A and B are shown apart, each in its own frame.
Chain A
Amino acid sequence: MNSTIKEEKPKNTISKVLEVILTMVSRPSGLIGLIILIFHVTLAITSPLYVPHDYKAIDPSLMLQPPSSEYWFGTDSLGRDVFTRTILGGRTALTVTFFGSLIALLWGGAVGIFCGLVGGKIDDVVMRIIDAFLSIPWILAMLLIVSLLGTSIIVLIPALGFFYGKGIVRVARAATHDVIAKDFIVSARARGHSNFSIIWNEILPNVRDAIMVEGAMRWSWMLLGFSSLSFLGFGVSPPTPDWGLMISNARGLMSFAYWSVLAPIFGLSSLIIGINLTADAFAKALGIDRSTKAPV
């Protein structure tokens, strides 16, 4: 935990960010992760400009074509180009999970710091409720919400953000507990600073790293959760190109047409691995050890 008082002169934000990135790429796993992640993000932003085919053009005469020079990854059961759909597939996943993680970070961090600072009865009650939420399997809760409110991105982003934020609450609370008894907080109180000023100027700089690392890890879990939902048919609706949906559609026919299931599998796996490696390197660059944390 980054709870020691920094002795060196405070650096400006840009040089600190640069230092973190340099430390991340100095390890091979971090470099690979970052490259994969940047590749996927670039692809997601720019792919509509150069996709070779229309992702929703159905052509029965082209059903289940094996890979060829025209259709690089072959075609699926409706004659759609698998290559086009695969490189477009990351867009929805990245958008939903990025904004979902942002929501999770904001509410989880805010509630966690608040609980850690206030303590006492309020803290007890809130943590009990969070514990109860943790003991409902996320998949059941997500499926219920999505099936009752509909499968639109407007529902998915806050729902994912809410359910993956509860882990961040715990981390933020623990990190706040670590710094709350430190001298600089006590002296800030003695100087008569308001609660808000203490949170903003004293606590936040000390818990920010832990919360951000947790958020990065949650991002990859959220991506896993989101694609599982799509796979089960509760994520985005067709014909949106989405990896989970593509795998689920192509699965039944994979004894004839393995290419239409392998391409989205490769896309999704590489993105998740990329995010994971990056998050790991990020944690190590900030000096936070996550190796003993359990997956909750």
Chain B
Amino acid sequence: MLILVLKRILLGLITLFIVSLITFVGVEVLPGDACTTYLEREAYGAALEACYKRLGLDIPAYERYVNWAVGVIQGDFGYSLSGEMKINDVLGPRVKNSLVLASASILIGIPIALLLGIITALWRDKLPDIIISTFTIFSMTIPEFISATLLILIVAIWLEWLPGIVIVPTGASISELLPNIILPVIAISMIMTAHMARMVRSSVIQVMSSDYVQMAILKGVPYWKMVFKHVLPNALLPAINVVALTIAWLLGGVVVTEVVFNYPGLGRLVIESISNRDLPVVQALAIILASIYVVINLIADLLTLMLNPRLKSLQIKK
């Protein structure tokens, strides 16, 4: 068991190492570097060399990688180009803002997803299922920016219930943020809920048709007792992994949603730093987002492992 956990952590670390290599090599290989984009037309001669020197780009690439990686491990991402600020100072408030948005969406999304998933599975192919399933399929398939734009159009412009665009400074406190994030949270949790509800639905349906549930029905176990005691615990176990994957998958979707709502989080920083060709910030963001992905998956694997005694003696299924 302990060896298995350590093995999973090691695999996660290897993945992160490869991610750091990919982003570093990718930025190296693609044409244009920090100095040529920073100096633009003046990128020649003494000015270029001075810039290389100042940013430490004059030393060989592998040495820079090692220096950078050592810094990252110690929690120091170096300096950004555009503002010449420490990247940690740039990232700090953004990470907090994104965390507020994500945790609000998850806190609202997961219970609703469980509820909807269970309802649709127990009343399969009946009216509640048809209504809810149609809705979930729609919000799953339609791109985030469309549902967010429609939300703004309907709720903010036509009904005038809520402000359509978030206007808060990057360093706003949580109490300043909360009234502004209602629409973004609805937009994000709508898609997340839809994905999770579908997974929960198919998982519950699968368990309902299994032999031991049929047996319980034949034995005359009361319906709701059977649902809560036999079906749900077994059905929700596989859902943990799906929840983790959905959250990780949302990392991409949140970028678009943040842009639509003008929300000062990590997602908008991705767009801003790429538009400014602020490559050190882009590298830092790639590592951070990939770490979130790896950590969420790790937690999900460990949770599954803890809750499912059968897996303890086996290899974790990928």
Contacts and interface: CB of A to CB of B under 8 A. Distances in A.
Interface of A: 128-129, 131-141, 143-145, 147-149, 220, 224, 227-228, 231-232, 234, 244, 247-248, 251, 254-255, 258, 261-262, 265, 268-269, 272-273, 276, 291-292, 294-296
Contact of A143 (B18, B251, B270): B270
Which among A143, A262, A268 has the greatest number of chain B C-beta atoms within 10 A? A143
B19 A135 contact: yes
26 contacts: A128-B11, A131-B15, A132-B290, A135-B290, A136-B289, A136-B290, A137-B290, A138-B252, A140-B255, A140-B286, A143-B270, A144-B26, A147-B277, A149-B30, A220-B141, A228-B145, A228-B256, A244-B145, A247-B146, A254-B152, A261-B153, A265-B146, A269-B141, A269-B146, A273-B141, A294-B245
B94 interface: no
B241 interface: yes
B155 to A, nearest CB: 13
B102 interface: no
Given A220-B141, A273-B141, A294-B241, A144 B149 contact: no
Interface stretch (B70-78, B84-92, B194-202): B194-202
B186 to A, nearest CB: 17
Interface of B: 11, 14-16, 18-19, 22-23, 26-27, 30-32, 137-138, 141-146, 149-150, 152-153, 157, 195, 198-199, 202-203, 206, 238, 241-242, 245-246, 248-249, 251-252, 255-256, 259-260, 270-271, 274-275, 277, 282, 285-286, 289-290, 293-294
A129 B19 CA distance: 8
B141 to A, nearest CB: 5
Nearest to B245: A294
A137 B256 contact: no
A132 B285 contact: no
A139 B270 contact: yes
Given A132-B18, A147-B274, A296 B149 contact: no
A272 B195 CA distance: 16
- Between B15, B203, B241, B294, the greatest number of chain A beta carbons within 10 A of the residue's beta carbon is seen for B15
Given A136-B19, A140-B270, A147-B277, A227 B245 contact: no
B280 to A, nearest CB: 13
Nearest to B206: A292
Interface pairs A-B: 9 shortest CB-CB: A132-B18, A294-B245, A148-B30, A291-B202, A135-B293, A139-B252, A137-B252, A135-B290, A137-B251
SS class of chain A's interface: helix, strand, loop or mixed?
helix
A294 B22 contact: no
Contact of A140 (B144, B199, B289): B289
Contacts of A273: 138, 141-142
* Residue among A132, A135, A140, A247 having the largest count of chain B Cβ atoms under 10 Å: A135
Given A232-B256, A292-B199, A295-B245, A133 B22 contact: yes
Given A136-B286, A144-B30, A255-B157, 4 more contacts: A135-B248, A251-B149, A272-B143, A276-B137
Contact of A128 (B18, B282, B289): B18
Given A137-B255, A251-B149, A272-B142, A128 B249 contact: no
Contacts, number: 134
Nearest to A244: B145
A276 B141 contact: yes
A27 B43 CA distance: 62
A254 B157 contact: yes
A33 to B, nearest CB: 11
B219 to A, nearest CB: 28
Contacts of B157: 254-255, 258
Nearest to A149: B30
B282 A140 contact: yes
A247 B153 CA distance: 12
A177 B245 CA distance: 23
B289 A265 contact: no
A239 B138 CA distance: 30
Given A132-B19, A135-B293, A147-B277, A231 B145 contact: yes
B19 A137 contact: no
Contacts of B150: 265
B283 to A, nearest CB: 10
Nearest to B153: A254
A17 to B, nearest CB: 26
Contacts of B246: 294-295
B297 to A, nearest CB: 8
A174 to B, nearest CB: 9
B15 A258 contact: no
A269 B142 contact: yes
